[in-house]
Structure 1
Amino acid sequence: MSAPPKSPGAPITDRRELVEYLEQGNKPADAWRIGTEHEKFAFRLGDNRPLPYEGEQGIGRILSEMATRYDWAPVKEGENIIALTKGQASITLEPGGQFELSGAPLSTIHQTCGEVSEHLAQVRAIGADLGIGMIGLGFNPKWKREDIPWMPKGRYRIMRDYMPKKGTMGLDMMTRTSTVQVNLDFSSEADMVKKFRVSLALQPIATALFANSPFKEGKPNGFQSLRSHVWTDTDPDRCGDLPFVFEDGFGFERYADHALGVPMYFVYRDGQYIDASGQDFRAFLRGELPALPGERPLITDWVDHLTTLFPEVRLKRFLEMRGADGGPWARLCALPALWVGLLYDTTALDAAWDMIKDWTEEERAQLRNNVPRLGLDTPFRKGTVLDLARQTVAISRNGLDNRARLAGMGDNESHFLDALQAIVDSGVSPATELLNKFNGEWGGDIDRVYAEYAY
């Protein structure tokens, strides 16, 4: 989740400005960047309990230590540090204390993986001193929703009250899920549309490859990616696989109209989040928002509103790939590698488009609905998602080879796919690996996941 905006921006006087904001994301290929974000669960060593915000072993203390030791600038809401910034990177908190690095926009996977590695080394050093660990999974493996402390952020109080009105699993999404995602650029409206369609169609393939949430409250939950399933009953207004993206005429304007149709959560003014849940951004444009009668939106209100949409791929001034579970160190680097290989090389993008262009809306919906439970074993036409995953990883590898972005040792970015290559070669997903251990050597002891998989 985003930190509070730093600048109020300019008032919006015309709907066209909303479309222009999206259009301003267009960049030449040599300016394309990679922004990797990942969340993780923080827990107390000894009993593996999730952390409150307060106290010597609290999330607030970790943020304070990050600021003191590693020169991150604190962002406060009232007296509480609720985010950190350094250059174009930030550290933010999800509602249940999930600790998120939103990385800077960087040029290569080498750089973004280095950023991830530096961050994990820092939180591990602080954790060693405070008796705290962190783990990457898609869903909290042990604790009930009522066991999860809420973070003191105003927007979360509003969302907490609103979510149960729209679906049964919104509060689980907020407090018990964790993801890794990558933000990628486009050069034009046509380029955005092609990348949006390819990445939206292939998002279930990424979900299957990164599926890493087979446990709930200490037991197998029947899913490969419970995190992905949770999104299917969070809020139908703002989630889903967006069939209209594949319709003729789709572009920036169509997405802006979609976003305008999504009910609001809040408006941020003078350091406070004002509850506008369920209200209409179109009314805001007319100066008729009940929460702020007579006022018109600022551009930062539009930016905030876009962050409250939760589709499988989200458009801002870049495209966000949102289908993957959180995971261990190597897969945090593999996720951006997968999508950069697919989307940042013309030959690879064409190959990915050829792969998915004749998939029907029904087939795409079936993948989205079935992959969370069945993962790589999900049937598709005459094969399975594992077959699609092998093809997808191969296309991505070719794309990274073609990019030929070399590190100091002369290696290109394709080796970051090795963690995924091992999955498609073996046919064993991360979730299946965890289940095999749980049912085998762990003897049903869920605490072993903390001991063996913490960063």
Structure 2
Amino acid sequence: MSAPPQTRGEPITDRRQLAAYLESGNKPADQWRIGTEHEKFAYRVSDHRPLPYEGPDGIGELLTRLQRFGWDPVEEKGNLIALTQGMANITLEPGGQVELSGAPLETLHQTCAEVHRHLDQVKEIGGELGIAMMGLGFQPKWRRDEIPWMPKGRYKIMGDYMPKRGNLGLDMMMRTCTVQVNLDFASEADMVKKFRVSLALQPIATALFANSPFTEGKPNGFQSFRSHIWTDTDPDRTGDLPFVFEDGFGFERYVDYLLDVPMYFVYRDGTYIDASGQSFRDFMQGRLPALPGEVPLITDWADHMTTSFPEVRLKKYLEMRGADGGPWRRLCALPALWVGLLYDSQALDAAWDLVKGWTTEERAHLRAEVPRHALRTPFRGRTVREVALEVLEIARGGLARRARNDNWGDDEAHFLNTLLDIAESGQTPADELLAKFNGPWGGSVDPVFKEYAY
């Protein structure tokens, strides 16, 4: 989640401005970058409880001490709620999950170095404060009411609105972690092809990264409970977007979708104004009940785009949003998967050939079944595991052809090795956790807080 926006930008008087904003993301291939984001659970080492914002070992103190590494503070109503450094940010999710929104980088080698540097920093501060962090898709032990809320205005508005639209929205806010990558496109046609490929293949990523089999200390029957949560969060702003595969899809059609998504808020002068359930279309006509007579600024549109939650989200770039959080090697593997598929034309063509015949019903089947069965999900006479092996081979070829070598002459393909191990074995990260729970952990999730800490 980004730091608080600034109330600036041109007024919006025509929907064509909204499509033009998306289109302004078009970039030639030599300017394409890789922006990786990951969230992690922070907790006290002594009792494994999630951190409050306040106190000598709270989130606020963590952010304060991280400034020694050159991070600049961002405050909201006197609370330190984010840090910035160049084009990178450290932000907070509603339940105190700590997120690194990385800078746009040229290679996966740089991405993995950025992740490693950040985890070293939080580990140093954590050692001083008696806290640790880990990457899983869902909080394995604590109930929602045992997790403190972070003091950010948008979260209060979202938290009040979520239960009106679904049963699991608050769990999404408070108890999930993900890793995602943001990637560029060259043109509207390039965006459409990448959107379709990545949306169709998002369940394959969900299966490979499935890492959330516990709820409140017990197995929950899912491989990726985090992924399942999105199916009962808010039907107005989630889903697999079948219209993306229809003839004529492009920037304007996505604008129409976003205009149909109810608003959450408007940000003005340091304050989030509750506009939950209201219409951005009315806002453009000066008829928003929350701000009568005002029309939106382009930054209001940028804010509104962050309040839709499909598996792939379009901004001035495409966000891949289907994976559970995990250990640091998988934080590097997620961008490797999608860069390999989308940033090489031969790989993109091969991936499109793989998915272009899949029907709306087949894509919906994957979206519904993968959270529970992951790699074992039946699909088109085989399993998702077999599809994943084919997808990984395409991605590996794409990374090899990119030929972005590090100082030792290695290309980026080795970042896929952890995913190849998962697909070849057929054992997901969730399977690994469940085997330990039913074996050496003796039916307790407590060891996860030590064995899987960063």
TM-score, scaled to structure 1: 0.99
Q: What is aligned with 2:325? A: 326
Is the partner of 2:447 in helix, strand or coil? helix
* Alpha-carbon separation, structure 2, partners of 1:130 and 1:205: 38
Q: Write the mapping of 1:58-69 to structure 2, written as runs, cut at 5 A.
A: 58-67=58-67, 69=68
Opposite residue 172 of structure 2, the aligned amino acid is M
Q: What is aligned with 2:105? A: 106
Could you report, residue by residue, the CA deviation over 1:121-158 in whole angstroms, capped at 9, with x for unpaired residues?
00000000100000000000000000010000000000
Q: What is aligned with 2:169? A: 170
> What RMSD, in angstroms, separates the aligned Cα atoms of the two structures?
0.5
Q: Is the 8 A contact 2:6 2:299 kept in 1?
A: no
Opposite residue 427 of structure 2, the aligned amino acid is V
* Alpha-carbon separation, structure 1, partners of 2:382 and 2:203: 15
Q: What is aligned with 1:25? A: 25
Q: What is aligned with 1:367? A: 366
Matched, 1:425 2:424: yes
Could you report, residue by residue, the CA deviation over 1:179-226 in whole angstroms, capped at 9, with x for unpaired residues?
000000000000000000000000000000000000000000000000
Q: What is aligned with 1:241? A: 240
* Alpha-carbon separation, structure 1, partners of 2:399 and 2:121: 29
Could you report, residue by residue, the CA deviation over 1:350-386 in whole angstroms, capped at 9, with x for unpaired residues?
0000000100000000000000000000000110000
Q: What is aligned with 1:336? A: 335
Is the partner of 2:291 in helix, strand or coil? coil
Q: What is aligned with 1:391? A: 390
* Alpha-carbon separation, structure 1, partners of 2:146 and 2:208: 30
Matched, 1:437 2:421: no
* Alpha-carbon separation, structure 2, partners of 1:71 and 1:345: 35
Q: What is aligned with 1:74? A: 73
Q: Is the 8 A contact 2:7 2:268 kept in 1?
A: no
Of 322-331 and 420-429, deviating more is 420-429
Is the partner of 1:331 in helix, strand or coil? helix
Opposite residue 21 of structure 1, the aligned amino acid is Y
* Alpha-carbon separation, structure 2, partners of 1:286 and 1:424: 51
* Alpha-carbon separation, structure 2, partners of 1:226 and 1:323: 12
Matched, 1:413 2:412: yes
* Alpha-carbon separation, structure 1, partners of 2:19 and 2:392: 34
Is the partner of 1:183 in helix, strand or coil? strand
Q: Is the 8 A contact 2:7 2:269 kept in 1?
A: no
* Alpha-carbon separation, structure 1, partners of 2:297 and 2:7: 10
Q: What is aligned with 1:46? A: 46
Opposite residue 112 of structure 1, the aligned amino acid is T
Matched, 1:270 2:269: yes
Q: What is aligned with 1:212? A: 211
* Alpha-carbon separation, structure 2, partners of 1:406 and 1:385: 31
For residue 445 of structure 1, report the CA deviation from its aligned partner: 1.5
Is the partner of 1:203 in helix, strand or coil? helix
Q: What is aligned with 1:200? A: 199
* Alpha-carbon separation, structure 2, partners of 1:10 and 1:130: 44
Runs of 4+ in 1 over 4 A off after TM superposition: none
Could you report, residue by residue, the CA deviation over 1:71-116 in whole angstroms, capped at 9, with x for unpaired residues?
1111000110111100000011000000000000000000011000
* Alpha-carbon separation, structure 2, partners of 1:79 and 1:294: 30
Is the partner of 1:273 in helix, strand or coil? strand
For residue 6 of structure 1, report the CA deviation from its aligned partner: 3.1
* Alpha-carbon separation, structure 2, partners of 1:220 and 1:354: 37
Opposite residue 14 of structure 1, the aligned amino acid is D
For residue 30 of structure 1, report the CA deviation from its aligned partner: 0.2
Q: What is aligned with 1:126? A: 125
Is the partner of 1:333 in helix, strand or coil? helix
Q: What is aligned with 2:16? A: 16
Could you report, residue by residue, the CA deviation over 1:287-342 in whole angstroms, capped at 9, with x for unpaired residues?
00000000000000000000000000000000000000000010000000000000
For residue 7 of structure 1, report the CA deviation from its aligned partner: 4.8
Opposite residue 5 of structure 2, the aligned amino acid is P
TM-score, scaled to structure 2: 1.00
Opposite residue 382 of structure 2, the aligned amino acid is G
Q: What is aligned with 1:279? A: 278
* Alpha-carbon separation, structure 1, partners of 2:58 and 2:392: 39
Q: What is aligned with 2:311? A: 312
* Alpha-carbon separation, structure 1, partners of 2:139 and 2:128: 24
Q: What is aligned with 1:116? A: 115
Is the partner of 2:192 in helix, strand or coil? helix
Is the partner of 1:239 in helix, strand or coil? coil
* Alpha-carbon separation, structure 2, partners of 1:449 and 1:104: 30
Q: What is aligned with 1:147? A: 146
For residue 40 of structure 1, report the CA deviation from its aligned partner: 0.1
Q: Is the 8 A contact 2:336 2:415 kept in 1?
A: yes
Gaps of 5+ in 2: none
* Alpha-carbon separation, structure 2, partners of 1:395 and 1:194: 16
* Alpha-carbon separation, structure 1, partners of 2:117 and 2:10: 36
Gaps of 5+ in 1: none
Aligned length: 454
Matched, 1:161 2:160: yes
